[in-house]
Amino acid sequence: MGVIPVGVSGFGAVSAVGVGVEATRAGLFAPPPRPALPRRFGTVLELPVFEIASLPGTPGIAGGFTMELLRLALDEALREAGLTEEELAGKRVGVCIGTTVACQLNNIPFYADLRAGRAAPREAFRSYVKGDPAEWVRRRYRLEGPALTVSNACTSGADAVGIASLWIREGVCDLAIAGGADELNQVPLDGFHALGVCSAEPCRPFDADRSGLNLGEGAGVVILESPGSAKRRGIGRKFIVGGFGKSADAYHITQPHPEGIGLERAVRQALESAGLTPARIAFVNAHGTGTPANDRVEAQTLARVFGPELKYMSTKSMTGHTLGAAGALEFIFCCLMLEARRAVKNHGYRTPSEEIPVPPLTEDFATDGAWALSTSLAFGGSNTALAVGRIP
């Protein structure tokens, strides 16, 4: 039996580039937004971020802003895939959502009460439990399939898409909802600042003078479907998840392996599972956070696999690092770039670096190529690669 091609029947995206796929489609090729100091929460840190000021719709669901972001992207993805609540109810549909923030009860006023022995607000605790993203989606649509919330730090969103593609490929389910969502709040901002990886300027991935990352927030959701299910529903699919590569460095709790051995394994695994040679990849949407360590290791690894013809960019200079959402959003950006037959340039890149063997794209790149690769790296030496294809 051949490998089942895993189709993308719909997607939804919310980030600083755009709220909704139409806005994202336009925003990807427009001048990028500039990060600014946070407005939704108080902080003394003068670190620019890519914040989403407001969302359409009514707030107040369990899980807070992360879940509002997720709900918006989810509703859009389901609409595009032509799926309704009635159609989904009771079906064996898998749900796999990546997040970092939603897995932690980091509500500061709640904790201040709890540790002081005062009556902590029950609703904050209940909202956290109810707001486990994948379980929330399964309950909302009364689904019967697996529901996994992946909390694998910055690869979570990419992992979720990869796992859901495996479910389809292995026949666990015919339809899956996958993606990632994360809000920006004081805890990750303070934490990433403590780690010394935030830049006080707009980030400049792969630049010689890069000085760190800007945090962002957002959500990306894709609907993955088997050919049989899409045919039964009469749905056309424009993209496929061709390959999924996943490996661990087993090296360090926060630093990537200096030679990128785990990343290289994930990239080669994704290519192999898609049946592709490196030459078939038109461009790579790299993790490219703008930190010295990540960009050095990633650029050197990609150059080793793809050679001097490598075309790549990081879109984090347009969205910031959206943590658990990043991998899912960047997968969707790959789809939109393949659709537009144009890969966006690496905004913020100015100065070549000796340690970056092949420079990223300095201009938008026209391409008829059918395949792109999205890479994600995370704390703990987690590496993920997704091969995404445009169906002719």
Name which position in 140, 238, 341, 345 contacts other proteins (CB under 8 A).
140
Q: Are 152 and 100 in contact (CB under 8 A)?
A: no
Terminal C-alpha separation, the chain? 23
- For 22-137, strand residue ranges (E) read 93-98
Name which position in 5, 251, 259, 359 contacts other proteins (CB under 8 A).
251
Binding mask 188-207 for other proteins (x = CB under 8 A): --xxxxxxx-----------
Nearest to 165 by CA among 2, 323, 388: 388
Close Cβ partners of 341 (under 8 Å, ≥ 6 residues apart):
366, 367, 368
C-beta closer to other proteins: residue 124 or 235: 124
C-beta closer to other proteins: residue 22 or 272: 272
Rounded to whole angstroms, how far apart are CA atoms 159 and 117?
39
Closest contact distance (angstroms) between CB of 313 and other proteins is 26
Close Cβ partners of 168 (under 8 Å, ≥ 6 residues apart):
4, 6, 174, 175, 176, 224, 225, 226
Q: Is 84 in the site for other proteins (CB under 8 A)?
A: no
Q: Are 173 and 145 in contact (CB under 8 A)?
A: yes
Q: Is 293 in the site for other proteins (CB under 8 A)?
A: no
- For 59-125, strand residue ranges (E) read 93-98
Q: Are 304 and 198 in contact (CB under 8 A)?
A: no
Q: Is 148 in the site for other proteins (CB under 8 A)?
A: yes
Name which position in 17, 74, 88, 147 contacts other proteins (CB under 8 A).
147
- For the chain, strand residue ranges (E) read 6-15, 18-19, 93-98, 147-150, 175-182, 218-225, 239-248, 281-285, 312-313, 342-343, 365-366, 371-378, 382-390
Q: Are 181 and 325 in contact (CB under 8 A)?
A: yes
Q: Is 381 in the site for other proteins (CB under 8 A)?
A: yes
Lookup: tokens for 12: 């939804």
β-strand partners of 47: none
Query: Which of these ranges, 82-90, 165-173, 279-287, 308-316, lies near other proteins under the rule CB under 8 A?
Result: 165-173
Q: Are 339 and 371 in contact (CB under 8 A)?
A: no
Q: Is 250 in the site for other proteins (CB under 8 A)?
A: yes
- A 10 A CB-CB count for 390 gives 19
Closest contact distance (angstroms) between CB of 240 and other proteins is 16
- Angle between helix axes 261-274 and 292-306 (nearest 10 degrees) is 40
Residue in this structure with the two tokens 């719709």, named with its chain if needed: 57
C-beta closer to other proteins: residue 170 or 309: 170
Q: Is 287 a catalytic residue?
A: yes
Closest contact distance (angstroms) between CB of 306 and other proteins is 21
Query: Which of these ranges, 72-80, 223-231, 246-254, 345-353, lies near other proteins under the rule CB under 8 A?
Result: 246-254
Q: Is 4 in the site for other proteins (CB under 8 A)?
A: no
Name which position in 87, 186, 208, 278 contacts other proteins (CB under 8 A).
186
Name which position in 74, 382, 385, 388 contacts other proteins (CB under 8 A).
382
Name which position in 23, 105, 293, 358 contacts other proteins (CB under 8 A).
105
Catalytic choice (96, 198, 203, 287): 287
Lookup: tokens for 200: 């006080």
Binding mask 11-50 for other proteins (x = CB under 8 A): --------------------------------xxx-----
C-beta closer to other proteins: residue 29 or 125: 125
Catalytic choice (96, 103, 154, 203): 154
Name which position in 4, 79, 87, 135 contacts other proteins (CB under 8 A).
135
> Which residues are identified as catalytic?
154, 287, 321
Q: Which residues are at the interface with other proteins (CB under 8 A)?
A: 43-45, 61-62, 100, 103-106, 108, 111-112, 114-115, 120, 122, 125-126, 129-130, 132, 134-136, 138-140, 144, 146-153, 159, 163, 166-167, 169-170, 172, 186-187, 190-196, 246-254, 262, 265, 378-382
